[in-house]
Amino acid sequence: MSSTSQKHKEFVAEPMGEKLVNALAGIGEVLGKRLEEKGFDKAYVVLGQFLVLKKDEELFRDWLKDTCGANVKQQGDCYGCLREWCDSFL
């Protein structure tokens, strides 16, 4: 039942390159700003964090919640987006 959003589809379709953190599924303007303030200004930095957390869902969700206050759905979207991207390109 987890239908992926347009954002998700666009993100996982190609290498992320220099995309901003807003391009991640689940990360909108508000969350994007918070992440940028913490130093995660590009999508690949968040990817880096995702990888450092060993791609573990729970850890990543917790981290996302702590860092930018994402709710459960947003956490899930972002995690799914990154995981699928990694499956394709990593």
Partner 1 sequence: MAALRNKSDQEIKDLLNEYGIKHGPLVDTTRPLYEKKLKEAMAKAKVPVTKPSPDRTFYREDQEEVTYVTYQTPVRSEGPSGDGKPYMRSRPEYSERDRVDDKPYSRSRPEYSERDRVDDKPYSRSRPEYSERDRVDDKPYSRSRPEYSERDRVDDKLYSRSRPEYSSGRPYVDEPHVYNTLSSSSYSKPTPVVKSGGGVVKKENTTSSGRLIPLWIQFLVFLILAGFLYFIFTNMESAESSPFNRIQ
Residues of this chain that bind partner 1 (CB under 8 A): 49, 52-54, 56, 58-59, 62-63, 66
SS3 call for 83 = helix
CB of 6 to partner 1, least distance (A): 29
Note whether 67 and 34 are within 8 A (CB).
yes
Distance between alpha carbon 15 and the CA centroid of its chain, in Å?
Answer: 14
CB of 14 to partner 1, least distance (A): 26
Nearer to partner 1, 4 or 53 (CB): 53
Nearer to partner 1, 23 or 51 (CB): 51
Note whether 11 and 23 are within 8 A (CB).
yes
State how far the Cα of 90 lies from the Cα of 88, in Å rounded to an integer: 6
Nearer to partner 1, 9 or 38 (CB): 38
